[in-house]
Amino acid sequence: MSEIIPYDSIPFHLGLDADETVFIASDIGPSAMYEKSEGNVFDVNLFIDCFQKAFCYGTIVFPAYTDLLRDGDTFDSKESIPTSGALSKKVLKRREFQRTSDPLHSVLAWGRKTPEIIELKDDSTFGEGSIFSFLKQARAKMIFIDVDFNNSFTFVHYVEEALNVEYRKYFNLSIERKLAKTTDVKQIKFHTKKPGIVTQLSKLEDDLTKEGILSVHLINNSVYKIIDLKKAYLRIEEEIKSNGGKDLHSFDWMLFLKQQVKTILGKG
């Protein structure tokens, strides 16, 4: 049964410590609809404020991805709109959060470890020196709020690159970056899926849940999932080394053929 509590106190009910580093992937639509059904107004800024109070000695990180950029496109740290949800778009407007410079997988950070995060420099968006590498080293917790695990657990690709899985390959991009004080052109590697490959993490999610690495909280008809990223890394590493990552992806012939046609027509 779903626990019913005021939405502005939810972060205090997740069983995490005030000094945690938390990485939050979210869809606030269901929460807003629930509050409306109860005759309340969902205040997004108040929701963010509450996370800051709950992790007042820690660090909060929101994805601000623009991973649909193509070769030759421009990333503007102030203006490029994240594709990672309405909460990230709202956070982008708040001055106390700072955005990193990775043109594909930038994040918005607030709190104790923000200076370390802002100084991150990577040549590969899922590689060492990336935000994903930092989150592993910081033993961060990832919080999923009403989002699909398969589409939101981007961290898995960091493990796949570290172990050089055979179903992904490097793609080189040249992206213009407009940052706070400088403008440059960044050459970055994107360890992306080979043609026909589909990310499939349902079994991984089940395994992580059974093994206690992922916990689920039902609050106000919303689903909050919490995962320990260091433990998840070790579990994914084990899967790749023992099974070649077969439980992390599948092959879709129809997708493969469509991608080949696009490539032939010069639209890939």
Q: What confidence score (pLDDT) does residue 2 get? A: 76
Gap between the Cα atoms of 21 and 46, Å rounded: 20
DSSP 116-135: HHHT---SBTTSTTSHHHHH
Q: What confidence score (pLDDT) does residue 265 get? A: 83
Q: How many residues does the chain have?
A: 268
CB neighbours of residue 251 within 10 Å: 13
Cα dihedral 7, 13, 14, 17 sign? positive
Q: What confidence score (pLDDT) does residue 262 get? A: 85
pTM: 0.94
CB neighbours of residue 215 within 10 Å: 15
Q: What confidence score (pLDDT) does residue 65 get? A: 97
Q: Strand pairing partners for 107?
A: 63
Q: What confidence score (pLDDT) does residue 267 get? A: 63
Please name which of 226, 232, 212, 217 lies closest in space to residue 23, comparing C-alpha atoms.
226
Whole-angstrom CA distances from 135 to 1, 21, 35, 209, 232 are 32, 8, 32, 20, 11
Q: Strand pairing partners for 144?
A: 25, 225
Burial 192-201 (b: 16+ CB within 10 A, else e): bbebbbebeb
Q: What confidence score (pLDDT) does residue 268 get? A: 57
Q: What confidence score (pLDDT) does residue 263 get? A: 82
Q: What confidence score (pLDDT) does residue 194 get? A: 96
Please name which of 101, 207, 87 lies closest in space to residue 156, comparing C-alpha atoms.
207
Q: What confidence score (pLDDT) does residue 264 get? A: 84
* Residue 38 identity: E
**What tens-digit pLDDT sequence spans the chain (268 residues)?**
678 899 889 999 999 999 999 999 999 999 999 999 999 999 999 999 999 999 999 999 999 999 999 999 999 999 999 999 899 999 999 999 999 999 999 999 999 999 999 999 999 999 999 999 999 999 999 999 999 999 999 999 999 999 999 999 999 999 999 998 899 999 999 999 999 999 999 999 999 999 999 999 999 999 999 999 999 999 999 999 999 999 999 999 999 999 899 888 876 5
Gap between the Cα atoms of 84 and 78, Å rounded: 15
Q: What confidence score (pLDDT) does residue 69 get? A: 95
